[in-house]
Amino acid sequence: MGNKLLKEAAVNHSLTSKRGVLERLFTLMFQGFVYNQIWEDPTVDMAALRITPSSRIITIASGGCNVMNYLAANPARVIAVDLNPNHIALTRLKLAALSHLPNYEDFFQFFGYANTKDNRAKYDTFLVDRLDETTRKYWEKSIPLRGRRINMFARDLYRYGLLGRFLGVLQTVARFHGKRLNDMLTARTPEEQRAIFNRTIAPLFDSAFVKALSKLPVSFYALGIPPAQYDELNKASGGDPAGLIRRRIEKLACDFPISENYFAWQAFGRRYDTEDRGAVPAYLQEETYNIIRQRTDRVETHLASMTDFLAEQPVQCLDCYVLLDAQDWMNEEQITALWRQITRTAAPGARVIFRTAGPDSPLEKKLPADVIAHWQYDAVNAQAYFDADRSSIYGGFHVYALKGV
């Protein structure tokens, strides 16, 4: 089912065309385990959504991190949907672990370190019988040369998945040029961050190899960026994708304290700050863990497209919508279908957030007048949220609020 949903979302051209071939190549790459963590800043999300105790949230699951993080804001409900069954399986495992592992240290060892042999025993003792049949089969499946899939948590989850492996390739490229990306993680001041970036990372973008790699769309597929989104990124770069990527990595490396930015730790080290535990997602911090552990029954997960799921829901049943960057994948027909369902299911005061590869929202150009007329773009706050987003990998952050009747 997941493969069919993905093809419906990402494939828009004939197999006989170059674009159709690229779309199918991306679909093939995206069918596996892609994101071992989500790459959207939950602090920004929660501020933009204005979550209250009565809020009913729907979000694309991705790595499942923000499904957990949103629980700290005390919403009434969180619905996680995703086209990729691997991401649904990871989200369900996180929820089971949050509820059933004995304590915070066990939970942090499982998802903070995610690289100890004890995690296999914890899975067998506390989790396997708590999972639904589909999720249990997923983690029990034997992978050639690796054994059960759950072994990823004994061998370092953050080195697996399409993104984890791609970040490993980038580290190898850096070492080939005599640089070490994880030097960024030693910085203690903004000045040190800037100095290490200028010394270690910036010179890589002068490399002919890196420049050539950045002009190949397939290079971006490993980041979960489909052909349509690559087009937007290339357009935003003015034909210089290497320069655009350099600027975004510079923001990631220099604009936020490394001691607090877990996105930077993943990008430059493929791990979290397991010693000081400052640069870790909120759900992995003990204070948040103690709060959200009592709220896992508020979450439901579904293998489905956002549009299809919303089409089955009653009117005015949701308050917050988190679309990640999914609309960068979509053509006008798909975006219109999605927003008709959002508009139908949105309760008074509903808010929608999403990110884009380029700086501009696609809605004013792609939505019919009768749909966009229901929504007000919060341009001033959107820019502020974009500036505060620690992940730094997107070109735009967008917020829409349902207009009053």
pLDDT-derived band at 221, boundaries 50, 70, 90: low
> In the prediction, which pLDDT does 1 show?
47
Q: The dihedral of CA 367, 369, 374, 378: what is its sign?
A: positive
Place of tokens 């290339």: 234
| Cα distance between residue 58 and residue 60, in whole Å | 7
Which carries the bigger pLDDT value, residue 385 or residue 34?
A: 385
- Asked if pLDDT for residue 197 goes beyond 90, the answer is yes
Per mean pLDDT, which range of 23-27, 72-76, 126-130, 296-300 is the poorest?
23-27
Percent of the chain residues past pLDDT 70, beyond the cut: 87
- 51 found inside a domain: no
From the list 210, 215, 263, the residue with the least C-alpha distance to 237 is 215
Question: Does the pLDDT value for residue 70 go beyond 90?
Answer: yes
What's the CA angle centered on 286, arms 160 and 275, to 5 degrees?
60
399 part of a folded domain? no
What type of residue sits at position 271? R
d(Cα 311, Cα 342) in Å, to the nearest integer?
Answer: 9
Average pLDDT over residues 372-379: 96
* CA distance linking residue 202 with residue 205, whole number of Å: 6
Given pLDDT bands bounded at 50, 70 and 90, which one contains residue 226?
low
Cα–Cα distance list, 241 to 169, 250, 269, 321 (Å): 18, 14, 23, 30
| pTM of the shown model | 0.90
Question: 75 is written with which tokens?
Answer: 């919403």
pLDDT of residue 303: 96
The pLDDT of residue 8:
53
Residue among 32, 152, 11 at smallest CA distance from 85: 32
pLDDT of residue 5: 42
**CB 164, CB 270: distance < 8 Å:** yes
Average pLDDT value for residue range 109-129: 97
Domain span at residue 200 reads: 161-269
Structure tokens that stand for 72 in this block: 């700290």
155-178 pLDDT, tens digit per residue, is 999 888 766 666 777 788 788 878
Secondary structure (3-state) at 24: helix
Q: Phi first, then psi: what are they for 360, rounded to 5°?
A: -100, 145
Is residue 180 in some structural domain?
A: yes
**Into how many domains does the chain fold?**
1
Residue 182 lies in a domain: yes
Q: Note the pLDDT of residue 10.
A: 47
Yes or no: say if 21 and 11 are a contact pair by the CB < 8 Å rule.
Answer: no
Q: Which residues pair with 302 in a beta bridge?
A: 81
- Range from 20-24, 112-116, 221-225, 387-391 carrying the lowest mean pLDDT: 20-24
Contacts for 87 with CB less than 8 Å, ≥ 6 apart? 33, 34, 35, 61, 62, 63, 64
- Answer yes or no: are the C-beta atoms of 228 and 328 closer than 8 Å: yes
Mean pLDDT over the full length of the chain: 88
237 lies in a domain? yes
CA–CA distance, 400 with 64 (Å, rounded to integer): 23
List, as one string, the DSSP characters of 276-334: T--SS-GGGSHHHHHHHGGGGGGEEEEES-HHHHHHTSPTT-EEEEE-TTGGGG--HHH
Instruction: Give dist(CA 245, CA 233) in Å, integer.
Output: 9
Asked if residue 228 belongs to a domain, the reply is yes
Cβ proximity of 254 and 201 under 8 Å: no
Whether 204 is in a domain gets the answer: yes
In a domain, 313, yes or no: no
Amino acid at 146: R
% residues pLDDT > 90 (the chain): 68
Six token digits for residue 19: 């674009």
| Residue 278 near residue 46, CB atoms below 8 Å | no
DSSP secondary structure letters along 110-149: IIII---THHHHHIIIIIGGGS-HHHHHHHH-EETTTEEG
Q: What is the pLDDT of residue 372?
A: 97
